[in-house]
């Protein structure tokens, strides 16, 4: 019995050690190499362009920023040419800019981040819940910690005429992503944890309309986009069509029109690589910000949510990796059907950043942004971590199987033969 206990304990220790090794390899990027020598901006651009040409079935626009200034860019298209002012649908990346719109109203004194959001709603109210909906605050909606269980994901509509009203969408979105029932409701205790919620930002879209008295599209144009010089950025689909949008490619190389959305804040920003670069540039340390003051920016950059002990979310933006200066690289990504993928990252301590807008590949923008983070910091981007997680889990399982197999063989070889009585 003693021998069995010692053997079992040894196996557990070896398995735990193997799990630690696999996690460290995943977290620290063991075996990964940056796509270019650190500091060689032109080499990075060249490798990124090669990757785009190899993987993309559509189009892409990329901008690099260093010390708060644009230092390089490239565009790629297998259809109509695109440039830095080409208008792409940026999907969930719009949540980041929506957060700035909310913070404008906080600075105006019109919104209290920690008040119940129902205080600001007259056109729609929370459905009944076993949890206290008065604990759903604007701060928690911005940081995905409000306890919402929708998990949305919107697929959009083929035509403008099919769209629901904002109130109808919040009650039950007809364009909910597969597997979601479309209802925005409080499904767990607000503040108890982090759960991504497109529906939460649809509520914030309504809050902005209720408080400002403007349409969401007009408010964001007047108070965020135009003051930042983002003249080709809009949540208004009709205006985007008037400005001229890039082709929207599928993964198979075919193209189709961009879809229409009711949930604009969550998923239907139209913008350009150059405009998003302007948005990143004002977030570099020491830069003048024409939209938000110092206190509002402090709120935005303060971590508000964590998972597995790691800080992952600010107000409106995701924390992607440590920047080796006591802070984080942060930003947002976006994905819409059929194959829209966008990404933006900024390290405010250096003023370095990247913008990637693409169609024709479901993950290319995120991949290139992750490569940039690793090239800049030597740290693995959180989304790159999640992308590699299935492979790591497979390696972990194979290692454990090998450990158990060796243990069984060792036990069989060392087992004492039974003597005849």
The pLDDT tens digits of the residues spanning 336-375 come to 999 999 999 999 999 999 999 999 999 999 999 999 999 9
- Strand 269-271, strand 305-307: pairing: unpaired
392-411 pLDDT, tens digit per residue, is 678 778 777 877 777 777 76
Three-state secondary-structure class, residue 305: strand
- State the Cα–Cα distance between residues 386 and 370, nearest whole angstrom: 11
DSSP conformation class of 128: P
Whether the CB-CB separation of 76 and 56 falls below 8 Å is answered with: yes
- Is the Cα dihedral 341, 347, 351, 352 positive or negative? negative
Task: Spell out the alpha helix ranges (H) of 124-261.
Answer: 138-142, 166-171, 198-212, 216-220, 237-243
- Strand 352-359, strand 305-307: pairing: unpaired
Structure confidence at residue 253 (pLDDT): 96
Q: How confident is the model at residue 15 (pLDDT cuts 50, 70, 90)?
A: confident
Whether the CB-CB separation of 89 and 258 falls below 8 Å is answered with: yes
Q: How confident is the model at residue 139 (pLDDT cuts 50, 70, 90)?
A: very high
Distances (CA, A) of 208 to 103, 121, 196, 297: 10, 10, 20, 19
Tokens of residue 43, six digits: 């080499």
Whether the CB-CB separation of 367 and 35 falls below 8 Å is answered with: no
Tokens of residue 137, six digits: 């605050």
143-194 pLDDT, tens digit per residue, is 999 999 988 889 999 999 999 999 999 999 999 999 899 999 999 999 999 9
47-56 pLDDT, tens digit per residue, is 999 999 999 9
Q: How confident is the model at residue 31 (pLDDT cuts 50, 70, 90)?
A: low
Which of 103-107, 261-265, 280-284, 417-421 comes out lowest in average pLDDT?
A: 417-421
Among candidates 396, 97, 55, which has minimal Cα distance to 249? Answer: 55
In the chain, what percentage of residues exceed pLDDT 70? 91
- State the Cα–Cα distance between residues 129 and 223, nearest whole angstrom: 35
Structure confidence at residue 196 (pLDDT): 93
Order of all β-strands in the sheet with 328-336 = 69-77, 59-66, 352-359, 340-347, 328-336, 318-322, 310-313, 305-307
Structure confidence at residue 147 (pLDDT): 96
- Phi-psi group of 156: left, alpha or beta (phi > 0 → left; psi -120 to 50 → alpha; rest → beta): left
Global confidence as pTM: 0.88
Task: With a cut of 50, say whether residue 420 has pLDDT above it.
Answer: no
Neighbours of 218 (CB within 10 A): 15
Contacts of 58 (CB under 8 A, 6+ apart): 77, 78, 79, 247, 248, 249, 250, 253, 255, 339, 358, 359, 360, 361
- Is the Cα dihedral 290, 293, 298, 299 positive or negative? negative
β-bridge mates for residue 343, sequence order = 333, 356
Strands of 23-154 (E only): list them: 59-66, 69-77, 88-91
Structure confidence at residue 11 (pLDDT): 75
Whether the CB-CB separation of 223 and 104 falls below 8 Å is answered with: yes
Contacts of 203 (CB under 8 A, 6+ apart): 117, 121, 141, 170, 184
Whether the CB-CB separation of 199 and 167 falls below 8 Å is answered with: no
Three-state secondary-structure class, residue 76: strand
Structure confidence at residue 307 (pLDDT): 75
300-342 pLDDT, tens digit per residue, is 988 898 876 778 899 999 998 999 999 999 999 999 999 999 9
Average pLDDT of the chain?
Answer: 91
In the chain, what percentage of residues exceed pLDDT 90? 75
Q: How confident is the model at residue 421 (pLDDT cuts 50, 70, 90)?
A: very low
Whether the CB-CB separation of 346 and 332 falls below 8 Å is answered with: no
Contacts of 14 (CB under 8 A, 6+ apart): 403
């Amino acid at each position: 019995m003693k021998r069995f206990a010692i053997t079992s304990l040894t196996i557990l220790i070896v398995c735990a050690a193997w799990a630690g090794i696999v996690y460290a390899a995943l977290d620290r990027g063991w075996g990964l190499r940056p796509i270019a020598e650190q500091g060689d901006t032109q080499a990075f651009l060249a490798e990124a362009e090669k990757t785009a040409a190899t993987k993309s079935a559509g189009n892409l626009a990329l901008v690099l920023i260093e010390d708060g200034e644009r230092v390089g860019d490239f565009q790629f298209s297998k259809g109509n040419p695109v440039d830095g002012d080409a208008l792409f649908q940026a999907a969930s990346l719009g949540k980041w800019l929506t957060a700035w719109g909310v913070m404008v109203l906080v600075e105006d004194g019109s919104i209290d981040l920690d008040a119940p959001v129902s205080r600001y709603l007259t056109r729609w109210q929370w459905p009944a819940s076993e949890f206290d909906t008065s604990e759903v605050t604007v701060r928690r909606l911005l940081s995905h910690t409000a306890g919402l269980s929708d998990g949305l994901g919107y697929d959009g509509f083929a035509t403008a005429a099919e769209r629901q009203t904002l109130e109808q969408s919040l009650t039950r979105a007809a364009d909910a992503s597969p597997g979601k029932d479309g209802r925005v409701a409080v499904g767990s205790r607000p503040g108890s944890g982090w759960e991504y919620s497109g529906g939460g930002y649809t509520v914030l879209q309504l809050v902005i309309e209720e408080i400002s008295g403007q349409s969401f599209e007009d408010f964001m144009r007047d108070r965020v986009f135009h003051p930042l010089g983002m003249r080709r950025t809009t949540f208004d689909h009709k205006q985007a069509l008037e400005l001229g949008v890039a082709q929207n490619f599928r993964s198979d190389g075919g193209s189709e029109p961009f879809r229409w959305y009711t949930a604009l804040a969550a998923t239907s920003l139209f913008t350009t690589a150059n405009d998003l670069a302007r948005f990143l540039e004002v977030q570099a340390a020491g830069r003048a910000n024409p939209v938000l003051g110092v206190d509002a920016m402090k709120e935005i950059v303060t971590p508000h949510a964590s998972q597995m002990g790691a800080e992952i979310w600010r107000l409106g933006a995701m924390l992607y990796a440590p920047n080796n200066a006591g802070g984080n690289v942060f930003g947002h990504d976006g994905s819409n059907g059929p194959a829209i993928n966008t990404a933006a990252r900024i390290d405010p301590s250096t003023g370095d950043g990247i913008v990637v807008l693409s169609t024709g590949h479901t993950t290319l923008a995120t991949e290139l942004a992750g490569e940039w983070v690793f090239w800049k910091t030597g740290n693995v981007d959180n989304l790159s971590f999640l992308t590699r997680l299935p492979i790591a889990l497979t390696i972990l399982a194979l290692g454990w199987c090998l450990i158990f197999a060796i243990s069984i063989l060792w036990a069989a070889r060392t087992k004492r033969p039974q003597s005849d009585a």
